[in-house]
Amino acid sequence: MTPYGAPSPYAYIIPVPNDTVGLIIGKSGETIRRLQNESGAKIQVAKVPIKDKNIRNVFVEAEHEKYVAAKEAIDKIINDHKRANDPQIYIGEANPFGEPVLSVRISDKYVGLVIGKQGETLKGIAMASDTKIYMPQKNPGEATIQEVANSKPSDLLIRVV
């Protein structure tokens, strides 16, 4: 049974992580209303999580095309949340992400600009490029080199000089 009554051929269930429900609903229901308006689907979130799981069901009732639009929008919210909460930058003694893929050299006098206040510029680069960045606490041999590296072979590595 869905919140809209008996199941219909247009009723879908999307399991979502419980910690993203607030993002899907939004302040005073603003986000869920926007999702419904943009997709044309009826969307409702289960009031309680599935027992013994960190999952909550989102009920969507719509024709398949509208359901797909709603699901893509919900998936984007979930993926953006995961990316925002995934450590993008690591500063320390050893690179936890693996071998770097690409190097970009930047003059020592611009290192502070690249890092930004409290690392905000570097975090922005990592988020925008969907990369992991590593910066050694100490220079790795050459006096002016700091390394910023990435975890995936397809991702960006930045070397700051």
Taking only the tens place, the pLDDT of each residue in 33-49 is 999 999 999 999 999 88
CA-to-CA distance for 60 and 112, rounded, in angstroms? 48
* Listed residues 85, 100, 131: the one ending a domain: 85
* Listed residues 32, 58, 85: the one ending a domain: 85
The residue ranking higher by pLDDT, 157 or 138, is: 138
What domain range is 94 assigned to? 89-160
For 97, other C-beta atoms within 10 Å of its C-beta total 18
> Which amino acid type is present at position 75?
D
* Listed residues 48, 66, 85: the one ending a domain: 85
Q: Where are the beta strands (DSSP E) in the chain?
A: 11-17, 42-45, 55-61, 89-92, 133-136, 146-148, 158-160
Residue pair 78/86 in contact (Cβ under 8 Å)? The answer is no
Tens-digit pLDDT profile for residues 56-98: 999 999 999 999 999 999 999 998 887 766 667 766 666 677 7
Tens-digit pLDDT profile for residues 105-133: 667 677 778 788 887 887 787 777 777 77
Query: Does the residue 56 lie in any domain?
Result: yes
Same domain? 75 vs 107: no
